[in-house]
Chains A and B, each alone.
Chain A
Amino acid sequence: MSQARARLLRPALGLTGLAVLFGVWEGAVRGGWIQSGFLPAPSSLGPAWLDEVRSGAWVQAIRDSLTHYLTGLVAGSVTGTLVGLLCGALPVLDGLLSGIVRVLRPIPGLAWVPFAILWFGLNTAGATFIIAISVFWINFYAAYGAVRAIDPDLYEVAAAFGHGGFWARLRTVVLPAASPGVLDGLRTGIGQAWMSVVAAELFGVPGIGARMMQASSLLATDLVVVYMLTMALLYAVTDMLFMLVRRRLLGWQG
């Protein structure tokens, strides 16, 4: 009973906090503390959202952004994880790439926008490229760190029981031992990719980011907030789906 109550307490508190925020916000706009041109009242968001849904723009923007999001996320996660795992497991490759990593790592994904436009144009591929770069580094470091943190004694155990070669070690030790770290990196990437989606679309590729820019140039701040909340919702859904998968994969961690 008390345990069930404790489990419900946190979400209940979270919802209460949200309700208070929206209440204060609504009151501040209605009471004239904030001009509605600067910040739309929460009550105006519903109608604005319905209009956007009826025109089909909302679903279209989500569909466009999800395309960028998923392709960029998959491309960046797969390459980042693979290169990270290999660098962690192969000291020669690690050394070979260390200089390149040092030069490229501090460059944020957004700095690649000029080249994304030059190489791919103002289209899906350009936006995907930006997203993939920012996700790549997160996964690279997560996978690399996870491999480097493996207890070296486990390699010895594996070798003692006949799994001494590179591929046998990779299969019996490296991949399973690194999986929690790799999955943490994937999760961080899932969040980071949504931030990059907006950034990548702000320069004109159709999607949620582009739609927000259009709305703000028309001073339709209610629509901007609608899309902000849309992003929050999409992030919550993707993160929840991922956590379900993670829990199945990492039952051994408890």
Chain B
Amino acid sequence: MAKCETDPASTAEIVVRLENIGLSHDHGRSFILRHVDLEIRAGEFVALLGPSGVGKSTLLRVIMGLMPPSEGQVSLQSRPAQAHRPAAMVFQDAKLMPWRSVRRNVELGLEGLGLNRAERHARAMAALELVGLADRAARWPRQLSGGQRQRVGVARALTVEPDLLLMDEPFGALDAITRASLQRELLDIHARRQGTVLFVTHDLDEALLLADRIIILHGHPAGVKGDFMVGPRPREGAAVQAMAERMRRLIAGEPDPGEDAAYWQASEI
């Protein structure tokens, strides 16, 4: 397994720890995920990168608590703060509830947190403000574009002030221009919020653009095949290219050429 030696975030507290996670849908005859160990620290923006169908979304659902793991355990560290949820998720295709107005969609996770109507309203509006859709609060989801719907999905997750924000290929279904602007906004929000993000994608460029750390999921059953700390922006030059080349090989299931070989290959190009 490719492991990075220098880990600048290693002093921050651990937000989520996966220990030996395995998931099987047929009582252990075959596994989708196996022996997955992972620690994510506060403030990290981690991309979970791997080919389509490898089990990235499944792993996200295990962390979210939507699927109990067949083996191992997930420990999610939650702040003692009131009226928040330990984890929240941004789904592929937003998955808004069409019968709720935009604002009421954002309020979904706030219901059941012991907030009164005015408090829910205020927090939902603040989250909509953050994603630039406060003026659409009274609209129905069908009246929004795909990009706007996904922004509402982000607001719905942020408004519960999660310790861990899980994002399941949230921009995968959008056109290139909308995707680029949402990626930029997400980086802005992350810079201001300093939260912890686990972002699933099968797009290496998206992972390199957004994340500080990239984890490669591959194989059948899927396991962590690489764990890379990405350096400061802008992310260009031979070292980054070498790292990208190693990741590309790992995603394709090829053996890792190692740091030096990849570096030399990249410098020749």
Contact = CB atoms under 8 A, between A and B. Distances in A.
Given A252-B142, A254-B142, A160 B88 contact: yes
Given A252-B98, A252-B142, A254-B140, A160 B111 contact: no
B97 interface: yes
Contacts of A161: 85, 88, 108-109, 111, 156, 160
Interface stretch (A26-34, A47-55, A149-157, A215-223): A149-157
B111 A162 contact: yes
A246 interface: no
Task: Give the interface SS of chain B, mostly helix, strand, loop or mixed.
Answer: loop
A157 B97 contact: yes
Contact of A160 (B66, B97, B140): B66
Interface string A167-179: 0100011001101
B64 interface: yes
Contact of A162 (B91, B95, B98, B112): B112
A160 B89 contact: yes
A225 B225 CA distance: 81
A106 interface: no
Interface residues of A, number: 21
B108 A176 contact: no
Given A157-B91, A252-B140, A163 B111 contact: yes
B25 to A, nearest CB: 16
A160 B89 CA distance: 7
B97 A176 contact: yes
A196 to B, nearest CB: 32
A251 interface: yes
Interface in A50-71: none
B95 A153 contact: yes
A159 interface: yes
B107 to A, nearest CB: 10
A159 B109 contact: no
Contacts of A253: 98, 142
Interface string B61-73: 1001010000000
Contacts of B143: 254
B108 A153 contact: no
Nearest to A153: B95
Given A153-B95, A252-B99, A254-B140, A159 B66 contact: yes
Contacts of A153: 91, 95
A162 B99 contact: no
Interface string A119-155: 0000000000000000000000000000000010110
Given A252-B140, A254-B142, A162 B97 contact: no
A17 B109 CA distance: 55
B99 A157 contact: no
Interface in B117-161: 140-143, 156, 160
Interface of A: 151, 153-154, 156-163, 168, 172-173, 176-177, 179, 251-254
